[in-house]
Amino acid sequence: FKAGPLQGKRIIVTSGPTHEPIDPVRYIANRSSGAQGTALARALSALGAEIVFITGPARVAPPAGVAVVAVESAREMAAAVEAALPADAAVFAAAVADWHVTTASDRKLKKSKDGLPHLQFGENPDILRTVAQRTVERPKLVVGFAAETNDVLENATAKRVRKGCDWIVANDVSPETGIMGGAENAIVLIGEEGAENWPRMSKEAVAEQLAERIAAALTYIS
């Protein structure tokens, strides 16, 4: 039993990078640490929510006291999210790879015998878009993240409409910001009514304030 404004609410949180296999020992990944998604799951859990935490291979440990589903690839993450529905809200903080290697080998590629590898790519399922555009079992609140390096507000506003989600949490992941893989975040929260610029703060503080907003929204919606 957990008290709090999110008591009785089930929330899916995706987090971390994905690993897209090239062969049994090699993969393509990205620099996501899983810090923001993990902090968010912890903050939502602290407000009483039942969390299904679906995480790629992250650098930070998952929060205690939540159900953890560990996955590697985007396709595995998509299947885990589908299996976790229905939910009251879904927050997609994972940095999902856009592509997987369609020519992945089930044996380790060898330098001498195979020459230079020629990788071919196929598109990964867009988990956020698929869930946001569901006609049955759509969570009441669907939140996406947008990691941008330029024109953050413009790109993320367009992304919210394109994906069909309720909110986009946008941030600038240009290397000089130190945000991706770092301890702090500066977000723009974009909803139907407009955009709010939040000051730079720790990822924990961003998580706590976002969790409060999610709690307020779910109370209002249901």
Select the residue interacting with ligand C5P from 71, 96, 109, 180 (CB under 6 A).
96
- Closer Cβ to ligand C5P, 74 or 109, answer by number: 74
- Separation CA 133–CA 162 (nearest Å): 10
Consult the annotation and say whether 172 binds a ligand.
no
- Closer Cβ to ligand C5P, 14 or 185, answer by number: 14
Residue nearest to ligand C5P (CB): 127
Consult the annotation and say whether 163 binds a ligand.
yes
- The reply to whether 30 belongs to the active site is yes
Q: Which of residues 164-183 bind ligand C5P (CB under 6 A)?
A: none
Q: Is 94 in the site for ligand C5P (CB under 6 A)?
A: yes
- Closer Cβ to ligand C5P, 45 or 171, answer by number: 171
Print the SS3 string covering the chain: CCCCCCCCCEEEEEECECCEEEECCEEECCCCCCHHHHHHHHHHHHCCCEEEEEECCCCCCCCCCCEEEECCCHHHHHHHHHHHCCCCEEEECCECCCEEECCCCCCCCCHHHHCCCCCCEEECCCHHHHHHCCCCCCCCEEEEEEEECCCHHHHHHHHHHHHCCCEEEEEECCHHHCCCCCCEECEEEEECCEEEECCCEEHHHHHHHHHHHHHHHHHHHC
The site string for ligand C5P over 109-148 (x = CB under 6 A, - otherwise) reads: ---------------xxxxx---------------xxx--
Q: How far is the CB of 126 from ligand C5P (least distance, A)?
A: 4
Consult the annotation and say whether 114 binds a ligand.
no
- Closer Cβ to ligand C5P, 27 or 92, answer by number: 92
Binding site for ligand C5P (CB under 6 A): 14, 74, 92, 94, 96, 124-128, 144-146
Catalytic residues: 30
Q: Please report, in range form, the residues annotated as the binding site for CTP.
A: 98, 108, 125-128, 145, 159, 163
